[in-house]
């Protein structure tokens, strides 16, 4: 299979996300809205919408639910030809009970022993990395078991062998493992990478780095020995440190669905990063994160023109 022209390759699991319909809660819902999502695949889908050729490496069961996931990402332009198909097994599920202030939201995962959790790194079509610019990974995958943990380490090794840059989003999930286990596992994987993303909560909770954002970013960049560290700060925007610290304010926007904002930020940042423009990377990341929360589901379906409109401060309204 030809891999010519593929710019970004994501490696990881995708899930079916089920959310109670009509404002119901998980305990009483009789119907659910179904979306497809997975951190690495979301980034690929978001970049595909911006015209970047992307591919996704994963493992799915050869059943209707596995095909549904592949079709969803293939349908938005992600190359899914390199997904491994398992003769048996199941997809992971994520049940989401949205927050309604003052009630907190809740996420329940059912992904233990999924088809992806049984992935064998030796079966992966690593040739997809030939000629790629970036491989994108997250800290979710190593939390899913021995095979996925080996997969991430292998992906980094295969990328380095081909001189492909590695992007890594910590993406800590408290329901999957403890902060201490995450720190012990992730830090060796992140050492010496090209690009590391994490949010200010994980900087404190997982790596014990607290204080002024610029100082935290500089400290963690040295600690991980990464070329660029990006620290997202919620409503306070984001900061990128590659030897020089750059800040970007968040853009305001209505919230329809919070899930996937971090993946949208990572995709927007990568869009600018691939062009060698760190300030544009921050602007695109912030704009895509804001636009993502206006769409239901995990994928940011904004066009480049809509992203530019946010960056340029052009008012939203109806096009007639």
2 band by pLDDT with thresholds 50, 70 and 90: low
SS3 at position 239: strand
Expressed in angstroms, the distance from the first to the final Cα of the chain is 44
Instruction: Look at residues 114, 120, 192 and name the one whose alpha carbon lies nearest to residue 150.
Output: 120
Q: In this predicted structure, what is the pLDDT of residue 1?
A: 56
Tell me the CA distances in angstroms from 273 to 195, 280, 283, 309, 313, one per residue in order.
10, 8, 11, 20, 22
pLDDT per residue as tens digits for the range 284-312: 999 999 999 999 999 999 889 999 999 99
Q: What is the mean pLDDT of residues 253-267?
A: 93
The mean predicted confidence, pLDDT, of the chain is 94
pLDDT band for position 106 (cuts 50, 70, 90): confident
> For a pLDDT cut of 70, what percent of the chain falls above it?
97
Catalytic pick among 263, 277, 298, 308: 263
pLDDT at 284: 97
Predicted pLDDT at 223: 98
Average pLDDT over residues 22-37: 93
> Do the beta carbons of residue 298 and residue 73 sit within 8 Å?
no
Q: How confident is the model at residue 314 (pLDDT cuts 50, 70, 90)?
A: confident
Mean pLDDT along residues 266-290: 96
Residue 32 backbone phi and psi in degrees, to 5: -130, 145
- Over residues 124-138, the pLDDT tens digits come to 999 999 999 999 999
Respond yes or no on whether the N-terminal peptide bond of residue 60 is cis (omega within 30° of 0): no
Determine what percent of the chain is predicted with pLDDT higher than 90.
Answer: 87
What pLDDT, on a 0 to 100 scale, did the predictor assign at position 4?
66
Given a cut of 60, whether residue 62 has pLDDT beyond it is: yes
Q: Please tell me the predicted confidence (pLDDT) of residue 315.
A: 61
Name all domains of the chain by residue range, CATH numbers in brackets.
8-306 (3.40.1190.20)
Q: What is the pLDDT of residue 22?
A: 86
Mean pLDDT calculated for residue range 30-36:
96
C-alpha to C-alpha distance for 81 and 61, rounded to whole angstroms = 14
Rounded Cα distance, 79 and 125, in Å: 13
Q: In the prediction, which pLDDT does 103 show?
A: 83
What is the reported pTM? Answer: 0.95
Beta-bridge partner residues of 96: 107
Closest of 146, 122, 15 to residue 72, by C-alpha: 15
- Active-site annotation holds for 263: yes
- Which residue from 313, 320, 288 is spatially nearest to 49, judged by alpha carbons? 288
- In this structure, the dihedral spanned by the alpha carbons of residues 11, 176, 299 and 239, taken in order and rounded to 10 degrees, is -90
Q: How far is Cα 80 from Cα 59, in angstroms, rounded to an integer?
A: 10
pLDDT at 199: 97
Torsion of CA 275, 267, 227, 245, to 10 degrees: 90
pLDDT at 98: 85
- Judge whether residue 317 has pLDDT over 70: no
Closest CA to 243 of 256, 255, 231, 229: 229
pLDDT in tens, 69-90: 999 999 999 999 999 999 999 9
């Amino acid at each position: 299979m030809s891999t010519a022209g593929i710019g970004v390759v994501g490696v990881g699991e995708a899930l079916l996300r089920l959310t109670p319909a009509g404002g119901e809660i998980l305990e009483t819902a009789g119907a659910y809205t179904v979306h497809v999502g997975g951190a690495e695949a979301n980034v690929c889908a978001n970049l595909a919408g911006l015209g970047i050729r992307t591919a996704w490496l994963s493992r799915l069961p050869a059943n209707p639910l596995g095909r549904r996931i592949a079709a969803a990402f293939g349908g938005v332009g992600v190359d899914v030809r390199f997904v491994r198909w398992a003769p048996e097994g199941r997809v992971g599920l994520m049940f989401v009970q949205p927050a309604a202030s003052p009630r907190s939201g809740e996420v329940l995962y059912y992904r233990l022993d999924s088809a992806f959790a049984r992935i064998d790194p030796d079966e992966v079509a690593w040739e997809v990395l030939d000629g790629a610019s970036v491989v994108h990974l997250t800290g979710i995958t190593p939390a899913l078991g021995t095979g996925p943990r080996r997969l991430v380490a292998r992906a980094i090794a295969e990328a380095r062998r081909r001189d492909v840059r590695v992007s890594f989003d910590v993406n800590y999930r408290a329901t999957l493992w403890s902060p201490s286990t995450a720190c012990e596992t992730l830090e060796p994987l992140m050492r010496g990478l090209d690009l590391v993303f994490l949010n200010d909560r994980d900087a404190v909770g997982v790596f014990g780095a607290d204080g002024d954002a610029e100082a935290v970013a500089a400290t963690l960049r040295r600690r991980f020995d990464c070329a660029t560290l990006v620290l997202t700060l919620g409503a306070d925007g984001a900061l990128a440190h590659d030897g020089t610290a750059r800040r970007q304010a968040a853009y305001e926007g209505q919230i329809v669905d919070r899930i996937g904002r971090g993946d949208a930020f990572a995709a927007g940042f990568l869009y600018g990063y691939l062009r060698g423009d760190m300030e544009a990377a921050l602007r695109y990341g912030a704009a895509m994160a804001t636009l993502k929360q206006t769409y239901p589901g995990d994928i940011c379906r904004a066009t480049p023109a809509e992203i530019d409109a946010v960056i340029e401060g052009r008012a939203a309204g109806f096009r007639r």
